[in-house]
Structure 1
Amino acid sequence: MQGIDSPTLLHDARVAFHYAVQAIIAYGFRSFLTTLGIVIGISAVIAVVAIMQGLGAMVEHQLKDLGTNTITLRAYTSPSKEMLGISNTITYQEYLRLRDRFADRVQMAAKMRAFSFSADVRHKQKSIATQILGTESAYQRVVNVYPASGRYLSPGDEQRRRRVMVIGHSLIESLGLPNDAVGEFVQIKDEWFRIIGVAEKKGSIFGLDQDNYVILPLSTVSSLLGDELGIEVVFTVKNEFAVHPTIEAMSAVLRQGRKLSASEPDFFEFETAEKTRQQFSDITRSITYVAAGVVGISLLVGGVGIMNIMWSSVTERTREIGIAKALGATSRFVLAQFLFEAMLLALLGGVAGVILGYGVAAFVLLFMPVSVDVLVPAWALWAALGFSAMLGVIFGTLPALKASRFEPIEALRYE
């Protein structure tokens, strides 16, 4: 069996590659139009991956800031019951039962959002809608809320239902308050409150301003402002490895307190870092599936476009192929030339798609309410370029085979 001459094979490949590049340059505009489908498909892949990776990194970072063992317990009402106007709540007595029962395992505090979500806070002629949060002095230790100036709520404030507040940093400028706002008075729902502390600036999380709020004693909120949403409970588990057992034990206490049967659903839910991470993962998975469909169609169109242009190119260059074969070009050489041409077309589309996709991702993330980095992992780049090249080879094979099988005499006779 005759062996293959490796130097000759390498030389043929280089020459075929050179001719393929010349052909692409000679038909520059047509080559550009041919790659549009691949450019769109690859740019969509890179843009989605870059945005999802950037958002994922942001979520992971902010979940670490929140703490894996910080959990919120809140009432849960099924959508079907909400449509009927039924709303579940967690009572203050249930909170006290949990606090006493699990005092050795957790640090716990109750909180209550008044007026559904926000209310107008006024100072002189300025007014702004902000979150009104009623809570206990223990809330400071649970969620690490510390005043930059002044003090936090004390047990005495709660016992005496004092009209005092800790104000979020964003409200200082919004309400035109002095930098040292301690001792100033602001108005909420025709009631006057004295500022006793200004909370440390925390910035935003998931695009939400964490400094646009006021904190009042829970007893004050309950007596003066109403309790529309009931109690929420925030707690940290002292042993981070005991998070799940603690949640299960609390669930059992809450269900037993209302004598719920095994078939009755929970009236509460626990919001954990793990649950938030899973929700984000579900969202990204759904977006990926939708994007995959769009990308698949774009790449298919791009591949068919390459096949069509290669068929046209083979037909237009029939005499050229005949001359090359008459001068000694082998079928293998012609096959390699047209395969290189198809692969290069697709690869150029892939490169352009990567650049465009990165630009699209950067442009989209400019409009995010929180800073997000554009992250394109190396695997995504290699996968995009490798898949582009493979697409060119697959869709360029049939035209290349046709070109390689021309007989020199028949090709030279072609008009």
Structure 2
Amino acid sequence: MNILENFLEGLRSIQSNMLRTVLTALIIAIGITSLVGILTAIDGIKSSVESSFADLGANTFDVSNYSSNNRRSGGRKMKKYEDIDYREASLFSAKFKEDFGGKVSLSSGIGGAIQVKYLSEKTNPNVSINGVDEDFLSIKGYFIDKGRNFSKNDLENSLNVAIVGQEVIRTLFPREDPMNKIISFMGGQFKIIGVLQKKGSLGGGTGADRLILVPLETGRALAANRALTFQITASAPDVEDSEYIIEEARGLMRRIRGDELGKPDSFEIERADALSKDFVDIIGYLRIGGFGIGIITLLGASIALMNIMMVSVTERTREIGIRKSLGATPRVIRFQFLMEAIVICIMGGIAGLLLGIMIGNIISNTISTDSVFIVPWFWMFMGIIVCIFVGVISGIYPAIKASRLDPIEALRYE
């Protein structure tokens, strides 16, 4: 009996026990769904992360407050450094542009839980207000969807104008054009001169689209007497010189901050692509974990399949005896049962692949709204290979047991 005949015989046996076959294939489908679904979701998130950071060049870096102000190390509270103030940020910007010719943007968080109003419409109190300069959008990878960026006149005269994120626009202006409309927040009224393109949840932290930008001096006036901390984002003129420029920027900021020789920096410098690499590393660990979870699930499915195949061998003992008496060799019997296990696994695997792709993309789009639909061809191929492997592992022992049955004893079996 050749491979095709064994395959067809396996299908006939499967058809004669359809309920058992469907339940067995469902076990395999669940295992493949967990494997492919998790990995598809991870690939979707990875694609979103890479897309979000694509606009931030490798020559861009942030100078910000030291993030370990309140952490403890070895039971001791680490030293608290002063925040970067406006004088230090402005001095750094002027010197960096003069010495290296790079682009520098200054920004500051004015408020992080603000409610914005337009006529009778209002947002939840979760909108972030940032004071920025004219270079903030380009250096941070934001794009204008409608309207314009801040002009020098807006910045120099501290005008009450604003550039607004997509989520705020959807809430306040569900059915009308937001351009040149007056919104109010933090006790002031602001004219909308621009609308940001959708950034996505992974593009700038949570609430990247719940953002309103105002001119930097306007933001300082909104803060009144409250002390602000400033973030500096700079870019080296050439990517090749970025490492050198970053170290020069570190030395410049240490002089401005008055850091003593031999003492650690009182600030942090982080490259834009370093954050992207951190995300990719984390996603790599998630992929390993997802693959492990999927394999464990499939291991349980393979044990269940082996048990069902053992039951099948017992139920078909008389059939095996008849086939042996008609000349079927142990090799043919062994191959037939092995083929049945593989066919059941492939049937379950195909169903699991389809479910896994759908569930994985749903999870990916739930976590990151700007994710694209992912078809993981590699994981689909690996899924089929795993199905065949599980079929062989699960079917080999029942197949060997069936092939070793004594034909006379099998014919007498009731």
Does TM-score exceed 0.5, indicating one fold?
yes
Report the secondary structure of 1:300's partner residue.
Answer: helix
Asked whether the equivalents of residues 153 and 166 of structure 1 are also in contact (C-alpha less than 8 Å), the reply is no
CA displacement, residues 153-203 of structure 1 (integer Å, 9 cap, x when unaligned): 42x65555x342233264566556984754x6554333x3453x6124412
2:102 alignment partner AA = V
Task: State the secondary structure of the residue aligned to 2:30.
Answer: helix
Residues 1:267 and 2:258 aligned together: no
SS at match of 1:166: strand
Query: Offset of 1:224 from its aligned partner?
Result: 4.0
Partner of 1:370 in structure 2? 369
Which region of structure 1 is more displaced relative to structure 2, 61-70 or 260-269? Answer: 260-269
Contact 2:163/2:195 (CA < 8 Å) preserved in 1? no
Segments of 5+ residues of structure 1 without an aligned counterpart are 1-10
Q: Alignment partner for residue 221 of structure 1, among 198, 219, 232?
A: 219
The answer as to 2:107 corresponding to 1:111 is yes
Separation in 2, partners of 1:67, 1:323:
73
- Correspondences of 1:350-369 after superposition (within 5 Å): 350-365=349-364, 367-368=366-367
The aligned residue for residue 284 of structure 1 is 283
Q: 1:387 to 1:123 in 2, by over 3 A?
A: closer
2:397 alignment partner AA: L
Compared CA separation, residues 159 and 367, structure 1 to 2 (3 A): closer
* Counterpart AA for 1:112: S
Aligned residue for 1:349? 348
Of the structure 1 ranges 173-182 and 90-99, higher mean CA displacement relative to structure 2 is found in 173-182
Secondary structure in structure 1 of the residue aligned to 2:150 = coil
Query: For 2:387 and 2:12, how far apart are their aligned partners in 1?
Result: 20
1:76 has 2:72 as partner: no
Indicate the SS of the match to 2:373: coil
Superposed CA RMSD in Å reads 3.2
Larger radius of gyration: 1
Tell me, yes or no, if structure 1 residue 401 matches structure 2 residue 395. no
Does 327-336 or 398-407 show the bigger shift? 398-407
Aligned to 1:94: 88
The answer to whether structure 1 residue 55 and structure 2 residue 52 are counterparts is no
Distance 1:45 1:19 in 2: 30
Aligned length: 398
Q: 1:203 aligns with which of 198, 203, 217?
A: 198
Letter in 2 for 1:221: G
What is the CA deviation profile of residues 317-364 of structure 1, one whole-angstrom value per residue up to 9, with x for unaligned ones? 122111111111111111111111111122222111101112212433
The residue that corresponds to 2:21 in the other structure is 31
Matches of 2:190 and 2:138 in 1, distance apart?
A: 22
With the length of structure 2 as denominator, give the TM-score of the two structures: 0.83
TM-score normalised to structure 1 length = 0.83
The answer to whether the 8 Å contact 2:309/2:341 transfers is yes
Shift of 1:218: 2.5
C-alpha offsets along residues 291-334 of structure 1, whole Å, 9 cap, x if unaligned? 23322221111111121112111122122111111111111111
For residue 330 of structure 2, what is the aligned residue in structure 1?
331
Within-5 A mapping of 1:98-177:
98-103=92-97, 104-115=100-111, 117-128=112-123, 129=125, 130-139=127-136, 142-143=139-140, 148-149=146-147, 152-154=150-152, 158=155, 162-168=158-164, 170=166, 174-175=171-172
Shift of 1:112: 0.8
**Cα 1:289–1:92 shift into 2, 3 Å:** same
User: 1:93 is matched by which residue type in structure 2?
Assistant: R
CA spacing shift, 1:395–1:262, aligned 2, 3 Å: farther
How far the C-alpha of 1:280 sits from its partner, in A, is 1.9
Matched residue type, 1:46: V
Shift in CA distance, 317/125, structure 1 to aligned 2, threshold 3 Å? closer
Alignment correspondent of 1:4: none
Give SS of 1:33's match.
helix
* C-alpha spacing 1:357/1:123, structure 2 compared with 1 (3 Å): closer
Give the SS at the match of 2:63: strand
Kindly provide the CA deviation profile for residues 225-280 of structure 1, in whole angstroms up to 9, marking residues without a partner as x: 145550011223221232232222222333454325656365324250x2232232
Judged with a 3 Å threshold, the aligned counterparts in structure 2 of structure 1 residues 141 and 12 are, in CA distance, closer, same or farther, namely: closer
Q: What is the match of residue 307 of structure 1?
A: 306
Per mean C-alpha deviation after superposition, the further-off stretch among 328-337 and 399-408 is: 399-408
**Whole-Å Cα distance in 2 between the matches of residues 386 and 73 of structure 1?**
49
Segment drifting more, 255-264 vs 24-33: 255-264
Q: 1:314 to 1:252 in 2, by over 3 A?
A: same
Q: Distance in 2 between matches of 1:297 and 1:320?
A: 35
When residues 224 and 169 of structure 1 are mapped into structure 2, their CA distance, relative to the original with a 3 A threshold, is closer
Instruction: Name the aligned partner's letter for residue 194 of structure 2.
Output: A
* 1:189 counterpart (182, 186, 189): 186
Gaps of 5+ in 2: none
Distance 1:260-1:400 versus aligned 2 partners, 3 A rule: farther
CA distance in 2, matches of 1:390, 1:147: 51
